[in-house]
Chain A
Amino acid sequence: MPDWRILAVIVVLGAVSYALRTGGFLAASALPQGGLLPRLLRMAPGNLFIAFVAAGIWQGGLPSLVGCCGAVAAMAATKREWAALGAGFAGAAFASALL
């Protein structure tokens, strides 16, 4: 039997995700088509991703750095997430084995 706290997390995060998927559609007629808010929404993901990655590399050390470099290079070259994940996984495992 799953812990009720785990189920609560799943339900809450699922609700947040669905609210965001539908929220833009429902609010589109009321939101201004230009201005600050659409720009903020457009700019936020990249900045959030890089902050998450930088903090993760800082915490994980060299294996994380090598893995991230491998993932970015593979993604830039192939445009395939599965290839990036494979390259990142292999890079992190290789660097970890060397240490």
Chain B
Amino acid sequence: MGMAMRIAISSTYPFTAMAFRRGFVSALPFIASNGIAGVVMGVAYRGLELGFVPAVLFSLVVYSATAQAVTLGLWALPPPIAAMVAACGATNARYLVMGAHLRQLFPDVPRRVILPILFLLADASWMMTVAEAERGRRDAGYLLGSSLPMAIGWIGGTALGYAAPLMPHGPLAIAAAFLPLAFVTALLPTQWRGWQSLMPWAVSAAVGVAVAGTIGQSWAMLIGGGAGTLVSVLRGGDA
């Protein structure tokens, strides 16, 4: 009764301070986990001699571990902007699906409210918000609250990683150079859809290696991944 009155009185759409607090507290552990990943990204940026301000701006403005890791792997001077844009768009295409799902979840939330929140949209905050809605607590405040600790961890971690007095050399330097690859590798299990993924993934990997050895590393992901996705479509599967 009280809850129903509160929602009805406070606004005509689901965005409450209570849900914001609940989302923020639930996502607090992400300050540590995203912070560690951000530290790694900061160390990698310093290895490129990118500069402190651009390194932090990268994590603040782009705010996508996957896209940043992939574009880090493409880094050169002058930067290959077209390849980076294509890679960023391709790796972040999943946000289109998440955004479309959020539109179904929050059709009554005004754009002036939801569009700024989407700047901080992350895989985990989307999943948490969807799970919260399935428990009967549909609220855009929860999306904002759960997104904030993730952003704080990622951006703060990048700054800390860049500024920390770590100077990798030898095996550590090789391992640091490997970290962008580790970011993407860590996401692989989340994309595995069972054995139906095997054939498309094998094609993606084989074409990716062939492209890296002929055309160049920059295009391996796009052409290889495109080939695997095409196989998926032709097979009529869902992976």
A interface, CB within 8 angstroms of B: 2-3, 5-14, 16-18, 20-29, 31, 36, 38-60, 63-64, 67-68, 71-72, 74-76, 80-82, 84-86, 88-90, 92-94, 96-97
Contacts and interface: CB of A to CB of B under 8 A. Distances in A.
B232 to A, nearest CB: 5
11 contacts: A10-B57, A13-B88, A18-B118, A18-B119, A27-B96, A28-B103, A43-B229, A48-B221, A49-B225, A58-B212, A96-B171
Given A50-B188, A93-B175, A16 B89 contact: yes
Closest 8 CB pairs of A and B: A24-B99, A51-B224, A46-B191, A51-B208, A48-B225, A47-B228, A55-B220, A14-B61
A54 B178 contact: no
Contacts, number: 310
A88 B99 CA distance: 31
A9 B186 CA distance: 25
Given A46-B191, A53-B184, A12 B54 contact: no
Majority DSSP secondary structure for residues of B touching A: helix
A52 B178 contact: no
Contacts of B212: 55, 58-59
Contacts of B28: none
B137 interface: no
B71 interface: yes
Greatest chain A CB density within 10 A among B99, B186, B221 is at B186
B239 to A, nearest CB: 6
Majority DSSP secondary structure for residues of A touching B: helix
Given A51-B220, A82-B33, A44 B99 contact: no
For chain B, the bracket of interface size reads 35 or more
B57 to A, nearest CB: 5
A67 B178 CA distance: 8
Given A50-B208, A53-B184, A85-B186, A11 B33 contact: no
B114 interface: yes
B155 interface: no
Contacts of A45: 91, 93-94, 187, 191
A51 B118 CA distance: 28
Greatest chain B CB density within 10 A among A9, A29, A72, A89 is at A9
Nearest to A94: B171
B99 A21 contact: yes
Interface string B48-61: 00110110011001
